[in-house]
Structure 1
Amino acid sequence: MYVLTVAYAHPTDPAAFDAHYASTHSPLARSISGVREFTARRCASLDETAPPYYLIAQLGFDSLEDLQAGLASPEGQAAAADLANFADGGASLFVQHD
């Protein structure tokens, strides 16, 4: 399995981020061809410090080829373009695999 992880930095307006993520971005990400698993979770720290990320999303694909095809698809391109609409704190993307 290949997993695309998106680590979102803290947004300026968390409520606006959450609303857009739930109503627009999450459905876009779930519609990407080849996605077998999708999770999105807010972050917390074990002490009083702020965690380095606000939210981490993971999209699982069966293979690297499926991941690449999914990102290149119209749905993948729409999800990538949508980042500018809500992720004002920035986002880091990386791939994990078995």
Structure 2
Amino acid sequence: MYHVTITYGHPEDPQAFDEYYSTTHLPLAAKIPGVRAFSAGRTETLDGTAPSVYYLASITFDDKESAAAGFTSPEGQAAAADIPNFATGGATLHFNPAEISIP
């Protein structure tokens, strides 16, 4: 498995971010080919302190090649091009193979 994690910084308007993400961005991201699993949500901490990022999305592909193909596809490019439309706090993409898996 290969993971792409996207962290979103704290937006200028959290309500606008949430609305746009769920109604506009998510339908675009859902069309990326090769996605095996997708999860996303606002971040929190166990002790109630402010989290360092606002939102996190986790996308799983079979392998690195599938992730690259998905993100370079027209659907992947459309989703990437949409990020500046709502991510006023910035967005960072992280890529990693699943080297360790328990169980």
Normalising by structure 1, we get a TM-score of 0.95
For residues 28 and 97 of structure 1, what CA distance do their matches in structure 2 show? 24
For residues 40 and 46 of structure 2, what CA distance do their matches in structure 1 show? 19
Runs of at least 4 residues off by over 6 Å: none
In the alignment, which residue of structure 1 is the partner of 2:101? none
Alpha-carbon distance, 1:96 to partner: 2.0
In the alignment, which residue of structure 2 is the partner of 1:54? 54
Alpha-carbon distance, 1:48 to partner: 4.0
Kindly report the root-mean-square deviation, in angstroms, between the aligned alpha carbons of the 2 structures: 0.9
Unaligned runs of 5+ in 2: 99-103
In the alignment, which residue of structure 2 is the partner of 1:2? 2
Unaligned runs of 5+ in 1: none
2:45 partner SS:
coil
- The reply on whether 1:24 has 2:24 as its aligned counterpart is yes
- The reply on whether 1:93 has 2:96 as its aligned counterpart is no
1:40 partner SS:
strand
1:35-84 deviation per Cα after TM superposition (whole angstroms, max 9, x unaligned): 11000021112234210111100111001110000000001000100001
Alpha-carbon distance, 1:30 to partner: 1.3
Specify the code of the residue in structure 1 equivalent to 2:55. Answer: L
Aligned pairs (5 A) from 1:32-47: 32-47=32-47
